[in-house]
Amino acid sequence: MNEPESSPYLHRLRNHCDLLYPNIPPEDVSKRIEEVLEGVKKPRSSGNGLWSSQDAILITYGDSIQRSEESPLETLHQFLRQTVKSDINSVHILPFCPYSSDDGFAVIDYREINPELGDWDDVDRVSSDYRLMADLVINHVSSESEWFKNYQAGKSPGAGFFVEVDPNADLTSVVRPRASSLLREVQTADGSRYVWCTFSHDQVDLNFRNFDVFIEFLKIIRIYLDHGVEILRLDAIGYLWKKIGTTCIHLPETHEMVRFLRTVLDEYAPGTVLITETNVPNQENLTYFGNGNEAHIIYNFSLAPLLLHALLAGTSKYLKAWMMSMPPAPMGCTYLNFTASHDGIGMRPAEGLLSDDEQSEMVSTIEKFGGQLSTRKLGDGTEKVYELNVSLFDALQGTLEGLDRFQIDRFICSQTIMMALEGIPAFYIHSLVATPNDTELVEKTGRARSINRHQWDADALEKLLSDPQSPQSRVSNEILRRMRIRSRQPAFDPSAVQFTLHLKTHFFGFWRQSRDRRQSIFAVNNVTSRRRSLNLSDLNLIVTDDWFDLLSGEHFDDRTQKIALAPYQTLWITNWSGD
C-alpha cells in the first residue's frame, strides 16, 4: 500500500513510533507492516455499522460440548446451528491453539489449532455462519513455545523477545493479578537470566520494546483475519509494557500500543473490532476507550459483581449508583456486558463500589453455595480476594438469607438485566444452559476456575434441553426467547440512549430510547424475592402513546395504575414493538 508522504495514516504511524519505537524510521515501520497485511481478508462488517440490536455474543471453550468421534469444534458448530440458531449471532471461541497450561492462555503455537479441538476448516465453518471473536493472547507466551526455546538458545525468532530483569530490582510497585513470584530464573546460552512472568512461570511475558515482537503478532492477526475472525480480544493487555519503578499496568506505552493496533487495522482491515480485557477497577477500565481511538469495545467488568450483589442482597443501591456514574461510550465505541465468563467473577472491579463488609458478606454467601476463591498478592505481601470462582447459576440459588425456591427466576432476571443495558450482551455458554458447579473437575485439576468450565456430553445436554422441566431447558429457552424480542428493538441498539430510573431500591430500572426517538423502553426489574408494587406514574409514560410489556404482552391503559411484579420479574414497557 503506497501511501503519500502526507497521508493521515503515516502521520498517525509517526506519532505511535515517537513513543514506542523512536529508533526505527516510520517509513521502515510502514513497509514492514505492509509486507504482512497487504491483501488481508476484510471483515464482513467493513463499510457497515459495527453493531446493532441484533448483536450478541456466546462465550465458550472449543470443547465445552463434546461427542465421541467428532471434533469438539464440529460439535460446537452443530450446537450453535441447532440450539442457538440466529438468536445469538456471534461466538467467542476461547483460545483454540496448542497450549501448555491455563486452559489455553499459555499458547505454544498461535499459527495452529489444537488438534484435540479440530482444525482451521472447523474454524472456517463457524466463521461462515457466526461473527467470530478470538483471543489474541498478547502479553505472554508458553515457556514451551518455539519463541521461548529459541530465546534460551540465543536464536531467532525468540532472541530478545522476553523481558529480562535484575533480580535485585525494586519491583514492589508492580501490580499483580496472581500470588506467584514475578520472576523466573532460566538458563540461556548467555547464562542464568530472570524473566518476567505476570501470571505464572509457564506464561512468560513478551518484550514489546522489540519491534520484531509486534511484527510477529501482526502475522498472527493476519492468520486470524484470513480465517474469518472479526473481533480480536486483547487478553491481559493492561500489563503489556514494563517499566521498573512503576506499577507496570496501564502505562502510556500500553495505551499507545492499543492505538497503534487500531491505526493499523483501520487501515488494512477496516471493520475489525478490538476489545480490551482489563479486569481492573472501573475508572482504570474506562481509560481503554481512549478518545475513541483505542478499543472499540471494553468489558463492563463492574457489572458482574454489582449485579450479583444486587440479587443476593435484594437491593439495587450500589448497582444503581455505579450505573448513574457510567459515561455513555464514545461515538463508535460500546460496552460488552457480561455476568459470567470462563474466569471467575472479578472483585477488583467492585473496589470503591462495594464496601469491604459488603464484599465479605457476598464472598461468604458464595462459599456457602459451593463456590471458591482466588487471591492476588499485594505489594506488602498480603493476599486479597481477586475473584469468586462459581457457576453463576449456582451463585444465584439463594440470597444472603440462604437457599430458596427462586433460583431459575433470579438467574433469568440477571441475564435479562444484562441484555437490556447499553452495549452488546455476552452470554457464557454455562449461563445459557444453566450449568451447576463442577466440583469434580476442580478436584481433578486442582484449579478453582475449573468449577465453571464444565465439559458437557453433547447427547446428555441435548436430552436435558429437550426436557421442558429441566433447568437447562427452562433457562435456555427463556433467554433465547427474550433475545429474539430484544433483537427487534431499536431502543436496544448498543448506542441507544440510556438513563437510570429513580425507583425504590427493590427495583432496578433504566430507560432506553432509539436514536430516532421513535421507541422508548422502560426496563424495570424486581431484584427481590418478594412481590413488589410499581406505580406506573413513576415512569412518566407519555399519555398519547400505547404502552405495553414486550415480555408478557400486557397493555397498560391506565398510566397511573399500580402493578405487582413477581419476585425477579422484568418488565420491558414500550410504546412500539419494533416490528
Task: Please state the residue numbers annotated as binding site.
Answer: 102, 140, 233-235, 342-343, 449
Alpha helices in 180-302 (DSSP H): 211-226, 252-268, 282-286
Burial 326-345 (b: 16+ CB within 10 A, else e): beebeeebbbbbbbbbbbbb
Burial 553-568 (b: 16+ CB within 10 A, else e): eeebeeeeeebebebb
Which residues are part of the catalytic machinery?
A: 235
**276 close to 318: Cβ distance less than 8 angstroms:** no
Partners of 525 in beta bridges: 508, 570
Cis omega (within 30 of 0) for bond into 157: yes
Partners of 186 in beta bridges: 193
Between CA 579 and CA 367 the distance in angstroms is 45
Burial class (CB in 10 A: 0-12, 13-18, 19+), 374: buried
- Residue in this structure with the C-alpha cell 534460551, named with its chain if needed: 152
Q: State the cell numbers at 192.
A: 542464568
Report the chain's terminal Cα–Cα distance, integer Å.
Answer: 44
Query: What are the Cα distances from residue 108, in Å, to 94, 113, 145, 393, 517?
Result: 15, 10, 4, 33, 50
Q: State the cell numbers at 188.
A: 540461556
**Nearest alpha-carbon partner for 358 in 312, 302, 322, 390:** 312
Between CA 432 and CA 87 the distance in angstroms is 12
Give the annotated binding-site residues for substrate: 102, 140, 233-235, 342-343, 449
**Nearest alpha-carbon partner for 181 in 192, 190, 172:** 172
DSSP code at position 82: I
Torsion angle (degrees, nearest 10) of CA 227, 229, 230, 233? -150
